[in-house]
Amino acid sequence: MMNVFEHPWLLLTLAAMALIPATLIRRAKPEWDYLPLLAPVLLAALGFGLDHAVQTDSEKIHAIIRQCRQAAIEEDLPSLAVLICDDYDDGYHRSRNQMLASAERLLTGAAINKIRFQHLQLTLEARSGVVDLDTVMHLDPKSRYAAFGSVIFISLQIELIQQPDETWCIRRVGVTSVNNQPMNWGSIL
């Protein structure tokens, strides 16, 4: 079933369907003027209002992924740090600080021009989510990774958990492949 908080289309469809009886009522009762048309307009406004006002878990997670992308492009580690859980552990990095130190080593001098998502699949459960992400990273010619080419394909699996205050944070990041070659953190660092 469609979630009215994520997509306004259900209420917009109902508004379009309500337009037919509203038009018929308006013809039958001309003294009501434009009053019958108020119902479809309110339904459409409600659809857009709910979509804009309520941020679902899926939308929050997508926002975190976009923030990570922007932080990587700008080499902005403080912005990245607030998105990572205090109890971060991916098997290679046993703490949040180890992950941030690795991120600093990888991102310093990377000179990333653009990161484009090729595939993003989100699987949500009760208070956790997993994002399978395939990205294309476009590098500046002055990048320290430019010897590998101007474009690098990276596949990641990102696990997120919902905190008690309803915010989401990154619990684990696993590198699946780089340039379509199976990799993990140990092979990269």
What's the pLDDT at 10?
85
Higher pLDDT, 7 or 96: 96
Residue 63 has pLDDT above 90, yes or no: yes
Quick: pLDDT tens for 143-158: 998 888 899 999 999 9
Full-model pTM: 0.81
List, in sequence order, every residue forming a beta bridge with 152; answer none if it has no partner. Answer: 137
At 138, phi and psi to the nearest 5?
-95, 125
Quick: pLDDT tens for 87-119: 999 999 999 999 999 999 999 989 999 999 999
What's the pLDDT at 157?
98
User: Within 10 A of 83 (CB to CB), how many other CB atoms are there?
Assistant: 17
Strands laid side by side in the 112-124 sheet:
112-124, 128-139, 151-162, 168-178, 181-182
What's the pLDDT at 181?
94
What's the pLDDT at 83?
97
What's the pLDDT at 179?
93
Q: List the alpha helices (DSSP H) in the chain.
A: 9-28, 38-53, 57-74, 77-81, 96-107, 185-188
Quick: pLDDT tens for 16-44: 999 999 999 989 998 988 899 999 999 99
| Residue position matching structure tokens 């290679």 | 92
What's the pLDDT at 136?
97
Q: What is the mean pLDDT of residues 6-12?
A: 81
Q: Give residues with Cβ within 8 angstroms of 57, minimum separation 6.
A: 124, 129, 162, 168
Q: What is the mean pLDDT of residues 79-88?
A: 96
What's the pLDDT at 47?
85
Contact 133, 98 (CB under 8 A): no
pLDDT category at 9 given cuts 50, 70, 90 is confident
